Structure 1
Amino acid sequence: MKKQGRRNILKSKKEYRKMVNSLKKSLTYEHKRKLDNIIFDNVIDSKEYKNSNIIFIFVSYDKEVDTHRIMKRAFDDGKVVCVPKVISMKDGMVAIKVNKFEDLTPGAYGILEPEYIPENIVDASMIDVVFLPGVAFGKNFGRLGYGGGFYDRFLKYINNNCPKVGLAYDFQIFDKIPMKEYDKYVDRIITN
């Protein structure tokens, strides 16, 4: 992270979510594409990506950092690509191996997701790197998610050596964000 991050002027997670969503909505297609290209290069050049065989990566939606191109590159690089599949609020989510981008189809909210095939579930402890979404991140590596707690629960099952890497635009980085005891921190944030 090169930029210092935004000063903290907000108090609640709800306020951070509202502010960042507003900033995302203001992104033009061209500006978003420019930022996504920089983040793509930063991910592909990262030691976390280069040193991984099995990656877990979210499937971007709407104004999130574009991960579709990263996934396609990972397939080309011969990596095993796993993506999240939410089972239920109670059971959380699992990592599902996909063999090509076209294996993903729109789910209930229009977000691309894999088909639930039990044989394609990857043991979370086998993952080499996790690329996480977030509404906002703190310079102290705190992560503010979307409120469902799915990633926080999933991260309990990865091995201790697996880096957790947040992907975010620079306007999503703050000095510090509100964290609860069950919220998980990331090890690194890759941004533009």
Structure 2
Amino acid sequence: MQNKEELRRHLLKVRQELSDERRRSGSASICRKIVEWDTFLTSDTVLFYMPIRREVDVRPAIEKAWSFGKTVVLPRALPETREMKLFRVDSFEELQPGAYGILEPLEDEAKAVEPERIRLAVVPGVGFDRRGYRLGYGGGYYDRFFARAGHAVRLGVAYSEQVVATVYPLPHDQPVHYLFTPGETLAF
């Protein structure tokens, strides 16, 4: 691969071709790691995401967070500014398809959460490298969020097949602090 766009296409294809069993078992393994992790256990406000396009399914970790009494936060994409607005979510029934077809929280100002309140951010990616840099879909949403919530612990989650030598990071790209795959726990 010579650039981000080629790598993105390649990794999306690789993820799409993972078997259902591989995705189920990999997601379950990653969720177990999350909910047993000290950083998760001590974080009162956790940002998750709703999986699309065969991303790691973190819904079991979300359910566990609710059962532990944590504040679960999900993003709502704002395409006009390419930013995410964050909202507390108390059940999956509060979600509806958003701008990109991703299940998102309703626009409810009473449940809005400032990025500074996030203690742990669990983030997906098309790919990650072994320095913690993340390759997303190209919109820059998470990079903008990271810039506003610099104190939050950033945890990337991915299948092993999504970890590569480099994702061609740019100067403004911000790495995750940790990366969980089914077989590895990496700290950066």
TM-score (norm 2): 0.91
Any conservation in 2 of the 1:55–1:129 contact (CA below 8 Å)?
yes
Q: Does 1:173 align with 2:166?
A: no
Q: Does 1:191 align with 2:181?
A: yes
2:106 to 115, 128, 142: 115
Q: Residues 122-155 of structure 1: CA distance to partner in whole angstroms, max 9, x if unpaired? A: 1111111001111111101111111000110111
Classify the secondary structure of the residue corresponding to 2:132: coil
Pair 1:89–1:58, CA change in 2 (3 A) = same
Instruction: Report how many residues are paired.
Output: 182
Q: How does 1:14-25 map to 2 (within 5 A)?
A: 14-25=5-16
Task: State the Cα distance separating 1:78 from its structure 2 match.
Answer: 0.7
Sequence identity (%): 30
2:149 to 135, 158, 164: 158
RMSD: 1.3
Task: State the Cα distance separating 1:91 from its structure 2 match.
Answer: 5.7
Q: Residues 46-71 of structure 1: CA distance to partner in whole angstroms, max 9, x if unpaired? A: 22211111000111113000011111
Unmatched tracts of structure 1, length 5 or more = 1-9
Any conservation in 1 of the 2:82–2:140 contact (CA below 8 Å)?
no
Q: Residues 18-39 of structure 1: CA distance to partner in whole angstroms, max 9, x if unpaired? A: 1111111111212211111111
Classify the secondary structure of the residue corresponding to 1:41: helix
1:144 to 129, 135, 144: 135
Q: In the alignment, residue 163 of structure 2 is paired with which amino acid?
A: I
Pair 1:64–1:91, CA change in 2 (3 A) = closer
Q: In the alignment, residue 171 of structure 2 is paired with which amino acid?
A: E
1:45 to 27, 32, 36: 36
In structure 2, C-alpha distance between the alignment counterparts of 1:106 and 1:90, rounded to whole Å? 19
Q: How does 1:92-111 map to 2 (within 5 A)?
A: 92-111=83-102
Aligned to 1:79: 70
In structure 2, C-alpha distance between the alignment counterparts of 1:129 and 1:109, rounded to whole Å? 24
In structure 2, C-alpha distance between the alignment counterparts of 1:136 and 1:159, rounded to whole Å? 21
Any conservation in 2 of the 1:132–1:164 contact (CA below 8 Å)?
yes
Aligned to 2:125: 134
Task: State the Cα distance separating 1:89 from its structure 2 match.
Answer: 3.2
Classify the secondary structure of the residue corresponding to 1:184: coil
Task: State the Cα distance separating 1:191 from its structure 2 match.
Answer: 0.9
Aligned to 1:64: 55
Any conservation in 2 of the 1:71–1:101 contact (CA below 8 Å)?
no
In structure 1, C-alpha distance between the alignment counterparts of 2:146 and 2:40, rounded to whole Å? 18
Pair 1:159–1:15, CA change in 2 (3 A) = closer
In structure 2, C-alpha distance between the alignment counterparts of 1:89 and 1:169, rounded to whole Å? 31
Q: Does 1:29 align with 2:20?
A: yes
Task: State the Cα distance separating 1:15 from its structure 2 match.
Answer: 1.4
Aligned to 1:6: none
